[in-house]
A and B are shown apart, each in its own frame.
Chain A
Amino acid sequence: MATPLVVSDVAKSFTMHLRDGIKLPVVASVSFAIRAGECAVLGGPSGAGKSSILKMLYGNYAADEGQIIVQHEGGLIDLATASPRTVLAVRRLTIGYVSQFLRTVPRVSALDVVAEPLVERGEEREVARGKARALLAQLNLPEKLWALPPATFSGGEQQRVNIARGFITEHPILLLDEPTASLDVRNRDVVIALIAAKKAAGVALLGIFHDHDVREAVADRVIDVTAFAAGKIAA
């Protein structure tokens, strides 16, 4: 079975130069692989480094050591050492990411925020908007909001825009950072269905879900992040 993402011996720490250079270890010896069509969940208490791991896989945090091997455009790329330009190409085509919070852009409508990743992949704007409409409707975002910039939306509404933006493309790898944190039960169930559809389509998913019910519904397995606690020797 295809394994589009393999993480080996990745370590991350923060050096706080403004605090006399103290070093805060986050994780070490992070090793796991995600297969196509499965949803793995990062488990462990707050502060264990779950978000840091996701951010390294997206190139948003730099890894101190180790390899993050991604199948990209028929080849293998090590994201831990890839150039910024390569990371951007991987983000455009291979790895999608649903962050916890939507970073809003002034004056861009919710519809275009959602359609943008498809347009970046070369899709016609109107086709992309059509898909965006369908997703926003599925996520029960009131149609009167679609033409408005999401800056003034409620937390739950912004989150749904964010989810639609993350799910609209056909990236073979999808990272999810608490996508259901501020959703009601009805919309949570929509997200569970969306994840199931991605799995059926052969997407490799890796997520953080604090919500127990969602985790039960989507997780094929849990990766225990406490095993990667920095300073601890991995077995």
Chain B
Amino acid sequence: MTDEPLLRVSALSKFYGSRVGCEDVTFDLWPGEVLAVVGESGSGKTTLLNCLSTRLLPSSGTASYRMRDRQFRELYRMSEAERRFLMRTDWGFVHQNPADGLRMTVSAGANVGERLMAVGDRHYGKIRATAVDWLSRVEIDEDRIDDEPRAFSGGMRQRLQIARNLVTGPRLVFMDEPTGGLDVSVQARLLDLLRGLVTDLGLAAIVVTHDLAVARLLSQRMMVMKDGRVVESGLTDRVLDDPRAPYTQLLVSSILQV
């Protein structure tokens, strides 16, 4: 276990005019840890995710990331080019809608290979072999490698997006409702896949979801958000089995039992 966090977030706030996106969010994330951010639509969880992944700049607060040279760098003081480099190499971002994270008109193999080329890989045979390997890890048959994601089902597209993100060996992956919009059986397969990959690769991840079952299955820690603020945080099973904040109790009691 490392004794230093990978990401340190302090008093992060984002306002849209006078409206609160997220307010005063503070937490540390350690290597290999999966943090779920839950709450209903409009609770600020996606705003938070976008600030952390530097797709949005916060109004105030800081976030420091421990680079591969072990030095902490303040994310919002980096240049745009540095942030983009981080995003292409050390980070991944899995969008709810795979079309936002994939290039729909190039082949599946190219979607995976492109990220490798972005980090400097130039050997075609090696790139293709790595792409084949990653497609099989996300359970896509090798003979689909030259097909465009447009021809894939929703579940396959999402698995392809995950392969595209993980191929560069990132240390931190952001996920925005990764199983949203999928059939339940497809969801279960994807969750199991994600769970295995996160464990095997020792990834840290921040997963935004409104689905508490997804949070329970994927995460060790959880933050519950309401109206832009974190109302409760802690071990995932503690928050779900012994919810203390009124809003968390409402969320947990609203789960449909099967």
Known A17-B246, A88-B235, A89-B1: A60·B253 in contact at CB below 8 Å: no
Q: Across the interface, do B189 and A17 meet the contact criterion of CB distance under 8 Å?
A: no
Q: Across the interface, do B1 and A18 meet the contact criterion of CB distance under 8 Å?
A: no
Contact of A84 among B188, B189, B195, B221 (CB under 8 A): B221
How far, in Å, is B205 (CB) from chain A's closest CB?
15
Q: For A62, list chain B residues within 8 Å (CB).
A: 234, 238, 242, 244
* Chain A 57-69 near chain B by CB (<8 Å), digits 1 or 0: 0011110000000
Q: For A85, list chain B residues within 8 Å (CB).
A: 30, 33, 221
Q: Across the interface, do A107 and B189 meet the contact criterion of CB distance under 8 Å?
A: yes
Q: Considering the complex of A and B, which 7 residue pairs feature the smallest CB-CB distances, nearest first? A: A17-B246, A106-B188, A61-B242, A107-B192, A84-B235, A17-B249, A84-B221
Interface of A is mostly: mixed
| A55 CA to B241 CA, complexed, in Å | 10
For the A-B complex with A60-B237, A62-B234 known, give 13 more contacts whose Cβ atoms are closer than 8 Å: A17-B245, A18-B246, A18-B250, A59-B238, A60-B242, A61-B238, A61-B241, A85-B30, A85-B221, A89-B1, A106-B188, A107-B188, A108-B192
Interface size on B, residues (CB 8 A): 23
Q: For A235, list chain B residues within 8 Å (CB).
A: none
Contact of B241 among A16, A17, A60, A107 (CB under 8 A): A60
| A183 CA to B218 CA, complexed, in Å | 30
A137 contacts chain B at the CB level, 8 A cutoff: no
How far, in Å, is A89 (CB) from chain B's closest CB?
7
Q: Across the interface, do A105 and B237 meet the contact criterion of CB distance under 8 Å?
A: no
Q: Across the interface, do A16 and B249 meet the contact criterion of CB distance under 8 Å?
A: yes
Q: For B145, list chain A residues within 8 Å (CB).
A: none
* Chain A 157-191 near chain B by CB (<8 Å), digits 1 or 0: 00000000000000000000000000000000000
Q: For B246, list chain A residues within 8 Å (CB).
A: 17-18
A87 contacts chain B at the CB level, 8 A cutoff: yes
A8 contacts chain B at the CB level, 8 A cutoff: no
| A108 CA to B1 CA, complexed, in Å | 26
A-B contact pairs, 27 of them (CB 8 A): A14-B242, A15-B244, A16-B249, A17-B245, A17-B246, A17-B249, A17-B250, A18-B250, A55-B242, A60-B235, A60-B237, A61-B238, A61-B241, A61-B242, A84-B221, A85-B30, A85-B33, A87-B238, A89-B1, A105-B192, A105-B195, A105-B217, A106-B189, A106-B192, A107-B188, A107-B192, A108-B192
By size class, the interface of chain A is: 10 to 19
| A55 CA to B250 CA, complexed, in Å | 21
Q: Which of B188, B242, B246, B253 has the most CB of A within 10 A?
A: B242
Q: For B192, list chain A residues within 8 Å (CB).
A: 105-108
Q: For B156, list chain A residues within 8 Å (CB).
A: none
Q: For A87, list chain B residues within 8 Å (CB).
A: 235, 238
B130 contacts chain A at the CB level, 8 A cutoff: no
CB nearest neighbor in B for A112: B196
